[in-house]
């Protein structure tokens, strides 16, 4: 399997390219609109066929690149959780699989950061793409978009922390230059999630985070697969 971790610097977002090296079918997890052309160029250079642009959740800090990729690479489809309520080609539910050649990822519902968050586990359980649900030594905020600290704690401990400790964790963001972790590392060293539930909820209630600067543009766009009203173009 071909695997690449790509980065968008303004929102510190990681986009993941996975491809079956035999069939050349590929998926992109959490593409960003600003880097869609870069990603499409790479996919073309590598002789790959992009079958899905997959989102872990309805992002508030950037516009997804899945809509633009559909225009750049005809045949590509978008995917996101059904619970997100977004317009998409493939509305995912718990346990659904997305195939690319002989490989696949499985969707796991992990509400908490948003009500519609999903993580995606590679078919051999060697990698999990955690979106904002589980970051390297952190997690996403839980104070908007149907978020819940209690739900996030249960998602991580009940689903992600039951996976093999050697499974590599690939988050949607990192703000300190770290690229990946493992389930075992996060169970031991994550300063928020190695607490009990009450301790975690208390931490999350005291974060006092600022309003995401792109949310008013990003959410309406992402509700439509990253295709936004031309009258609003430039308002970012």
* Six-digit token string for 7: 């980065």
Active-site position among 20, 30, 39, 61: 61
Nearest by Cα to 99 from 26, 6, 2: 26
Q: Is 30 marked active-site?
A: no
Q: Is 189 marked active-site?
A: no
HSE, CB side, 13 Å, CA atoms: give it for residue 86: 37
Burial class (CB in 10 A: 0-12, 13-18, 19+), 145: buried
Q: How far apart are CA 177 and CA 185, in angstroms?
A: 17
Q: Is 132 marked active-site?
A: yes
Nearest by Cα to 90 from 101, 78, 104, 105: 78
Active-site position among 20, 30, 39, 113: 113
Judged by phi (left if over 0) then psi (alpha if -120 to 50, else beta), residue 223 lies in alpha
Taking a C-beta distance cutoff of 8 angstroms, is the pair 32, 8 a contact? Answer: yes
Active-site position among 173, 174, 198, 233: 173
Active-site position among 20, 30, 39, 62: 62
Active-site position among 20, 30, 39, 57: 57
Active-site position among 30, 59, 96, 174: 59
Q: Is 39 marked active-site?
A: no
Catalytic residues: 57, 59, 61-62, 113, 132, 173
């Amino acid at each position: 399997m071909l695997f690449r971790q790509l980065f968008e610097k303004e929102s510190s977002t990681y986009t993941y390219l996975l491809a079956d090296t035999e069939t050349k079918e590929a998926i992109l997890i959490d593409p960003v609109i600003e880097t869609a052309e870069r990603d499409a160029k790479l996919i073309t250079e590598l002789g790959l066929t992009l079958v899905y642009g997959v989102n872990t959740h309805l992002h508030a800090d950037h516009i997804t690149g899945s809509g633009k990729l559909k225009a750049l690479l005809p045949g590509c489809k978008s995917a996101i959780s059904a619970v997100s309520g977004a317009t998409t080609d493939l509305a995912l539910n718990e346990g659904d699989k997305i195939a690319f050649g002989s490989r696949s990822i499985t969707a796991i519902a992990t509400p908490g950061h948003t009500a519609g968050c999903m993580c995606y586990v590679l078919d051999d359980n060697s990698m999990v793409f955690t979106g904002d649900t589980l970051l390297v030594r952190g997690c996403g905020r839980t104070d908007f978009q149907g978020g819940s600290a209690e739900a996030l704690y249960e998602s991580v401990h009940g689903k992600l922390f039951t996976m093999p400790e050697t499974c590599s964790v690939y988050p949607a963001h990192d703000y300190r230059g770290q690229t990946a972790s493992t389930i075992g590392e996060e169970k031991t060293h994550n300063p928020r999630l190695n607490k009990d539930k009450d301790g975690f909820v208390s931490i999350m209630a005291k974060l006092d985070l600022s309003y995401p600067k792109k949310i008013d543009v990003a959410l309406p766009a992402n509700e439509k697969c990253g295709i936004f009203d031309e009258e609003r173009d430039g308002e970012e």
